[in-house]
Amino acid sequence: MSGTLVLVRHGQSEWNLKNLFTGWKDPDLTEQGVAEAHAGGKALAETGIKFDVAFTSDLSRAQRTCQIILDEIGQGDLETIRNQAINERDYGDLAGLNKDDARKKWGEEQVHIWRRSYDVPPPGGESLKDTGARVWPYYLTEILPRVLRGEKVLVAAHGNSLRALVMILDRLSQEEILELNLATGVPMVYTLKADSTVADKQVLGDMSKAH
């Protein structure tokens, strides 16, 4: 039995638009972000997929994206499990700061290291490795078993929590994952084999807007 795992990064948030480090802060979607979520839902509706369960984070931008997608495919009342294990990476002291202001304060190179290294966290925050350390166990114990039972599972979450998942699904190295950006609102549809490896991956939408 092969199950289906669909990963979607939330639509553009108000702080994405303002170029702010967001992390565990909780801004809402912009109008564009709402439109992106609707577009992702429509793309999934065209495939005819029907989900058995949805997972999302404790943050409203992911929850709202999840709900918009489910409404688009006529499953607005689907069981949806919320857990902070798949929250965005915690940016610590950077959260709420404009990225350009952070560069002025700490220097371009240091901010680049915090944003793009695998295991160097910003002050008071998490590295991508730290984010994975909470995402991976949750995936293995709560999400993956349902996919392996043949269920169709939607995960609406965040750039970095999803990058941690894509890293293991696509078997990317620490260097390769640092180059990966996930577009907002664009569903990635994985079909998994019984051994949990990927049989097929499809990206439903325009990846040119990844940033």
Q: What is the number of alpha carbons within 13 Å of residue 88 lying toward its C-beta?
A: 24
- 50 near 73, Cβ under 8 Å? yes
Active site residues: 10, 88
Unique residue bearing structure tokens 């998994």: 192
CA angle 54, 56, 60 (to 5 degrees): 130
How far apart are the C-alpha atoms of 68 and 155, rounded to whole Å?
13
Q: CB-hemisphere CA count at 13 Å for 70?
A: 23
Pair of tokens at residue 144: 């993956």
